[in-house]
Amino acid sequence: MTKTDLTTIATGFLSMCAAGDVRAAYARHVADGFVHHNPWFPADRESLLVAMEESAAQEPNKAFTVKQAVASGDRVATLSHVERAGSAKAYAAVHILRFEGDRIVELWDIAQEIPVDSPNALGMF
């Protein structure tokens, strides 16, 4: 797989999940033995899949935009903008995905709320 291929798979997977197409995203892109490092859920594939489905159902109109994606070896890192529907809160999210072939086998995610009154004129993106 090329870096471009892995980046396309990573951004497609994350965008599908954010749009509520979680089961299809997992079926298309995630390995059966997938694990993740989100501290709020058990580390197995099904637990995060269900949590992502619940999140999509609770906020079906959130906006998710990948701003940057970088691939190196078997990993892709993305920086994304998440805007919650009906809320002034927005987040910068980083996802790191590890691949075996064309399947995602491991995931890390980190998010930070974007301050409304940040003194940094460059912003988070």
Angle (CA) 108 109 111, round 5° = 160
Cβ-proximal residues to 103 (8 Å cutoff; 6+ apart), any chain: 29, 30, 31
pLDDT computed for residue 23 by the predictor:
96
**Closest C-alpha among 32, 93, 42 to residue 68:** 93
By C-alpha distance, which of 29, 96, 15 is closest to 63? 15
Residue 18 CA to its chain's centroid (Å): 8
Distance CA 83, CA 19 (A): 12
State the fold for domain 3-113: Nuclear Transport Factor 2; Chain: A, (3.10.450)
What residue segments make up the domains of the chain, in order of their start? 3-113
* DSSP string over 59-106: -TT-EEEEEEEEEETTEEEEEEEEE-TTSS-EEEEEEEEEEETTEEEE
Q: Give the distance from CA 67 to its chain's centroid.
A: 12
For residue 38, give both structure tokens: 């989100």
Q: What is the pLDDT along the chain (125 residues), one digit of tens a residue?
A: 898 999 999 999 999 999 999 999 999 999 999 999 999 999 999 999 999 999 888 888 889 999 999 999 999 999 999 998 778 889 999 999 999 999 999 999 999 999 989 999 999 99
Model's pTM, two decimal places? 0.93
